[in-house]
Structure 1
């Protein structure tokens, strides 16, 4: 490796914000990607990528840890997500580009930290998309069995290690998502919005039926394992909030991004947190908290017990099929946009940055990501990786909150469509909440995360540091100044 590649200043260099604006057409409304998304479609992307299979089954895992106080666990996780959403809203309105927390870190904390955040986002989106897609065959088989009396053989509907040889439904699901994403962001967002309304309807149906059977006695004792149990469950249910930041990956495909991005983030977190708390309250009120442990089929089992009918299993299976489709679609979308930004910066090969001139979407990038996600989903059982996904997401969230503090100090003059209220208080609380949930994760998650980051750093020091686009940018050095304005003044791309 060239000696200059080890220079610490190269690892800490920041990408000028004016360059980001010029590359993406923030000021002109242009850019490489088509701007076709408004508040409603973008909000549905946020809700669609967040409300996934987790909420359909997470109560079975979390209630035995916290008892009826699992409601507080959802509130803690929701507050963490909300605090971070406010920080995302400020950075997204100031730097409305693709790449989300990776790009924000590049502009505020430096190249190496941004690259590590990008590696965390690969865990959040790529691994999560594969893990979610794995379960599609199970839901599809349940729906087929309850409606037409036929199921796909287990050998072709489950991955190795879980009774199967090849998970064909998951691979087909990823191919369908790939086809839609290649067509364009607007078309994909429309289909996603439809899936969101259906799965929210299924969850609201559960809430209505369960509330009719609500019994105060089921919530006693409220916190049998104390606050320790609440904290442990909070780190588990946080997996159900992953995906909220997908909104910020669409920065270059949004109309009027400085207004649209903050509004979509706000409405996404409000809708998701409200529906989760309603489901949690209804669930623990409808049956004894002791009945959750070992209960199969999650919400479907509760509905079946309450109604004494098999229609509940059909409704929840349909909700699961549609939910997994929507989550897989939006998480693959988020992954491609993060890799698009990393390819543009030279952190990854140029193939991830190529845009089809007709559809103005990163087709090659989408095909590569879909092939990777589909292969993992087809042959690898990934259900054990939910905690690893949470770790990557929480690290990225904490970095975004830190980025707000840095940008407030280095660029107080920067135009922002939204400012986090309360000065530094909310970003600091967001960082603290993320660190608390990280602390609650099990030891094996730390070990797997360390291995992943080590592998990512090998790529950075052997490829990325030598191909970084900042190597040829004269303004890269002055960006390290505290106020950050010297580089913007020097940048030839200043709009």
Structure 2
């Protein structure tokens, strides 16, 4: 095995196996963002009628089974992979393409989502239109990703430690507030309030809460660089869910106790006001800064970098027009794909609400997860002849399907339309499904 490899080298022999379980878990937590629920708390609260921590518990359960499914595929295909790769290996290239096309919807929308969250929080603070802030975030991320990806790697660890500090500060202050304020008490109402509980409402809230868990699967793409990948990655991908689940449920439970109910001056920035109720202006500013740094800076840069490289890869493989694979002559970054992502992000931020974007992103993720569960069930029954092993993926599929059912009608309509477009596009590049190899797009 070669001792060194360039950043963009994809040959398996060039990837040094140095990562351990702790490295993988830390990387996944950084990607998922420890304070992610703060950005969408109000949306989940309104949809679930105040049962935010319950929505996160259900979302965590769904993700545990999904993560277990990922772990099973990693044991069988330890090479860097994804839902696309796992479905492709089970059902073939065409079905794999549809799985990849479905998850692509996530990647396209996530930059707009994370920018909108930060822009809305800054609008609440400054009164300056969120469109101005959105333009600043888009421009900054685009320039950073064109100039080079190194900044993302250098900044991510700093952002992670700051986010953990913000989370600890909020939890400590909120616990003190509840313990010392006679009007507040530690109660189970955030998990079940008979006056407002509605199961379908909780499912709808859960369908958005799932958003906070997206990114747990990032470690499966690092399998080629992990020591004993079959063993380590399959365990780490499952362990990370309860770890972040505790973080998410803790902050949302305390937020629900501090501010009972689900009525806010502006639900899009609900946690901004909850932080002030918990600790005053200083905590409000700290949570604001944490959310902006996590969503507006860290997530915006990484999300845009991620989708631009997916488009670059698809262009290089011939699944998209070749122009998507063009690299900047000086910085060697996929600048055409990066610019295209930026241009797509602008109208999405302007036209869609936080609720709409959250639901649409989760449509892609939940549909892809469901396909992964189906692929695993098929593999156990038809390929490996182990029908007794289908219990876990079957439960995972049922939970994922139930949460998918809670998605709003807009998300389902747009999502199904997206899949239909993908099928039509696949039919074109495979000459009506007559060839097994996807033909290059000129």
CA distance in 2, matches of 1:378, 1:35: 39
Q: Residue 222 and residue 451 in structure 1: after superposition, are their counterparts in 2 closer, same or farther (change >3 A)? A: same
Give a deviation string over 1:410-438, Cα, whole Å, max 9, x none.
6549xxxxxx9x82111111111111111
2:408 corresponds to 1:442: yes
What TM-score results when the alignment is normalised by the length of structure 1?
A: 0.72
Shift of 1:444: 1.8
Q: Residue 337 and residue 236 in structure 1: after superposition, are their counterparts in 2 closer, same or farther (change >3 A)? A: same
Shift of 1:409: 4.6
Match of 2:68 in 1: 86
Match of 1:45 in 2: 27
2:198 corresponds to 1:226: yes
Match of 1:216 in 2: 185
CA distance in 1, matches of 2:38, 2:67: 23
Match of 2:137 in 1: 169
CA distance in 2, matches of 1:350, 1:108: 28
Q: Which moved more, 1:459-468 or 1:116-125?
A: 459-468
2:109 corresponds to 1:127: yes
Match of 1:372 in 2: 340
CA distance in 1, matches of 2:305, 2:225: 12
Match of 1:317 in 2: 288
Is the contact between residue 42 and residue 262 of structure 2 (CA under 8 Å) also seen in structure 1? no
CA distance in 1, matches of 2:30, 2:272: 20
Is the contact between residue 55 and residue 240 of structure 1 (CA under 8 Å) also seen in structure 2? yes
Match of 2:14 in 1: 30
Alignment of structure 1 residues 232-271 onto 2, 5 Å: 232-254=204-226, 256-271=228-243
Corresponding residue SS for 1:56: helix
Alignment of structure 1 residues 54-133 onto 2, 5 Å: 54-133=36-115
Corresponding residue SS for 1:96: coil
Is the contact between residue 28 and residue 216 of structure 2 (CA under 8 Å) also seen in structure 1? yes
Q: Residue 443 and residue 178 in structure 1: after superposition, are their counterparts in 2 closer, same or farther (change >3 A)? A: same
Is the contact between residue 246 and residue 330 of structure 1 (CA under 8 Å) also seen in structure 2? no
Is the contact between residue 47 and residue 204 of structure 2 (CA under 8 Å) also seen in structure 1? yes
CA distance in 2, matches of 1:306, 1:155: 25
Shift of 1:380: 3.3
Shift of 1:46: 1.9
CA distance in 1, matches of 2:433, 2:304: 25
Q: Residue 93 and residue 468 in structure 1: after superposition, are their counterparts in 2 closer, same or farther (change >3 A)? A: farther
Match of 1:197 in 2: 161
What is the aligned-residue RMSD (CA, Å)? 3.8
Q: Residue 47 and residue 177 in structure 1: after superposition, are their counterparts in 2 closer, same or farther (change >3 A)? A: farther
Is the contact between residue 73 and residue 234 of structure 1 (CA under 8 Å) also seen in structure 2? yes
Is the contact between residue 196 and residue 326 of structure 1 (CA under 8 Å) also seen in structure 2? no
Corresponding residue SS for 1:449: helix
Give a deviation string over 1:443-467, Cα, whole Å, max 9, x none.
2222111221222233222225699
Give a deviation string over 1:381-425, Cα, whole Å, max 9, x none.
243222111111001111122222333356549xxxxxx9x8211
Shift of 1:117: 1.1
Find 1:428's aligned residue among 391, 394, 410: 394
CA distance in 2, matches of 1:52, 1:119: 28
Q: Residue 139 and residue 297 in structure 1: after superposition, are their counterparts in 2 closer, same or farther (change >3 A)? A: closer
Q: Residue 333 and residue 315 in structure 1: after superposition, are their counterparts in 2 closer, same or farther (change >3 A)? A: same
Q: Residue 391 and residue 279 in structure 1: after superposition, are their counterparts in 2 closer, same or farther (change >3 A)? A: same
Is the contact between residue 300 and residue 316 of structure 1 (CA under 8 Å) also seen in structure 2? yes
Is the contact between residue 127 and residue 389 of structure 1 (CA under 8 Å) also seen in structure 2? yes
Corresponding residue SS for 2:14: coil
Shift of 1:352: 6.2
CA distance in 2, matches of 1:200, 1:155: 26
Shift of 1:103: 1.0
Q: Which moved more, 1:208-217 or 1:227-236?
A: 208-217
Is the contact between residue 258 and residue 277 of structure 2 (CA under 8 Å) also seen in structure 1? no
CA distance in 1, matches of 2:145, 2:216: 19
Shift of 1:369: 3.7
Is the contact between residue 121 and residue 288 of structure 2 (CA under 8 Å) also seen in structure 1? yes
- Size of the aligned set, in residue pairs, is 418
Give a deviation string over 1:327-383, Cα, whole Å, max 9, x none.
234434543565566557643456767899x99xxx55x434422332233443243
Alignment of structure 1 residues 291-440 onto 2, 5 Å: 291-292=263-264, 294-295=266-267, 297-307=269-279, 309-324=280-295, 325-335=297-307, 338-339=310-311, 342=314, 346-349=318-321, 363-364=332-333, 366-381=334-349, 382=352, 383=354, 384-409=356-381, 412=384, 423-440=389-406
Q: Residue 440 and residue 75 in structure 1: after superposition, are their counterparts in 2 closer, same or farther (change >3 A)? A: same
Give a deviation string over 1:158-183, Cα, whole Å, max 9, x none.
56xxxxxxx132221243245453x4
The runs of 5 or more residues in structure 1 that have no matched partner are 1-22, 146-150, 160-166, 414-419, 473-495
What TM-score results when the alignment is normalised by the length of structure 2?
A: 0.80
The runs of 5 or more residues in structure 2 that have no matched partner are 1-8, 179-183
